[in-house]
Amino acid sequence: MSASATAAQAHDHHHDDRPFPPDQFFGEATPGKIGMWIFLLSDALMFAGLLLAYGILRGGSDVWHPPGQPRLGINFTAGLTFLLICSSVTMVLGYAAMVEGDRKKAVRFLLLTALGGILFLCGQYHEYFGIWHPGLSKEGLDFGSSAYASTFYVTTSFHGAHVFSGVVILLITAFATWRGKTDAHDIEAVGLFWHFVDLIWILVFTLIYLIP
Amino acid sequence: MGHASHVNRKQYWIIWVYLLILTFLEVALVYVPGIAKPLLVSALFLLAIVKATLVGLFYMHLKHETKILRVSVAIPMASPVLYAAVLIAEAGWRLL
């Protein structure tokens, strides 16, 4: 982020939609964007490992849901999915505002996106530990008590850690944008991470929650 | 100006609507009484991949990147999907 930000300050005029010197293979993609993609690919393979382990364990088990352990709630997590999809829209709208040079609007959308992430984390806390009714951990879904419980906690908490880091990155970027220290490339790179978190949730929601 | 051409607010909202419809469809499928499990699992798997692809192409702007960047992303992403497809096929084979 800082490399492209200083580069942008060096050629001060037009730094919001300044194309990166076109490259034969990567076009106008900045080193920051390519770096983010390489990171996302390695991260995606980590999630792939978790989801495939879940698939192998589940495919090879006779009884997946041990008696006495609660089933995962679908309707509540469908709401969380809705929240993340909406936060992806506010993220691209923030990027759009930044490309058009509207810094204030970009900051507002970044903060709105971070709020979506914070609400998601609250939802996940409620699901695990319960805020207005007992959470899964109090209903008998103990970590380590079954492959069903363990794969659920490991995969969703690993995703939750990504949401948490995404929120931190979004807040830092919103602050830097407010101070005029970022350009549209930076917002796009942060957006890539955030959309990736949304994309992974789409897979986690379908594979872990929806398959009965 | 290559950057500005990525921005298409209308398209962002259209993708949002698609994602909502597909999510609703997924949840509705689970509630279909007496639906065959292999059918349900394959349908859910397919819908999730369509949704993930929509996010990648339009929100992560892969549609606007160069071919080599898209291929660099697509190959590592396709490998776990392929592995999953083999696992599902194998589980299906055992059940038959």
Q: A130-181, pLDDT tens digit by residue? A: 888 888 988 889 898 999 999 999 999 999 999 999 999 999 999 999 999 9
Partner residue opposite B87 with nearest CB, options A17, A59, A195: A59
State residue A170's pLDDT score.
Answer: 97
Q: What is the DSSP letter of B59?
A: I
How confident is the model at residue B88, as a pLDDT? Answer: 81
The closest CB to that of A99, out of B7, B47, B55, belongs to B7
Q: How crowded is residue A65: how many other Cβ atoms within 10 Å of its Cβ?
A: 15
Instruction: Show the DSSP H helices in B1-96 as ranges.
Output: 9-30, 37-54, 67-95
Q: Which among A73, A56, A74, A76 has a CA at the least distance from the CA of A64?
A: A56
What six digits make up the tokens of B71?
């291929």
Q: Which residues contact A170 (CB under 8 A, 6 or more apart)?
A: A110, A111, A113, A114, A117, A190, A194
Mark yes or no for CB contact A44/B76 under 8 Å: yes
For B57, the domain range is 4-95
Tokens representing A51? 């989801």
ipTM metric: 0.90
Give contacts of A75 with chain B, Cβ < 8 Å.
27
What phi, psi does A24 have (nearest 5°)? -60, -40
For domain A33-210, give its CATH number from 3.40.190.10, 1.10.3470.10, 1.10.150.120, 1.20.120.80: 1.20.120.80
Cα–Cα distances (Å) from A41 to A46, A76, A142, B7, in that order, read: 9, 29, 31, 24
Here the tokens at position A210 are 């929806």
At A45, list the tokens. 């393979």
Evaluate if residue A5 carries a pLDDT over 60: no
Q: What is the pLDDT of residue A13?
A: 43
Tell which phi-psi region holds residue A114, choosing left (phi > 0), alpha (psi between -120 and 50) or beta: alpha
Q: Strand ranges (DSSP E) for chain A? A: none
Q: What is the mean pLDDT of residues A21-29?
A: 80
Every domain of chain A and the residues it spans: 33-210
How much of chain A exceeds pLDDT 70, in percent?
Answer: 91
Q: Looking at the 3D structure of chain B, how many domains does it have?
A: 1
Q: What Rg value do the Cα atoms of chain B yield, rounded?
A: 17
Identify all chain B residues contacting A50, using CB atoms and an 8 Å cutoff. none
Distance CA A39, CA A14 (A): 29
Where b means 16+ CB within 10 Å and e means fewer, A185-212 reads bbbbbbbbbbbbbbbbbbbbbbbbbbbe
**Positive or negative: CA dihedral A92, A94, A97, A98:** negative
Distance CA B32, CA B51 (A): 21
Q: Provide the pLDDT confidence category of residue B26 given band limits of 50, 70 and 90.
A: very high
Determine the average pLDDT of the residues in B61-78.
Answer: 92
CA distance A58 to A209: 13
- A64-77 per-position pLDDT tens digit: 999 989 999 899 99
pLDDT digits (tens, 9 = 90+) for A86-142: 999 999 999 999 999 999 999 999 999 999 999 999 999 999 998 888 889 888 898
Region B50-54: mean pLDDT is 95
Whole-model pTM: value is: 0.89
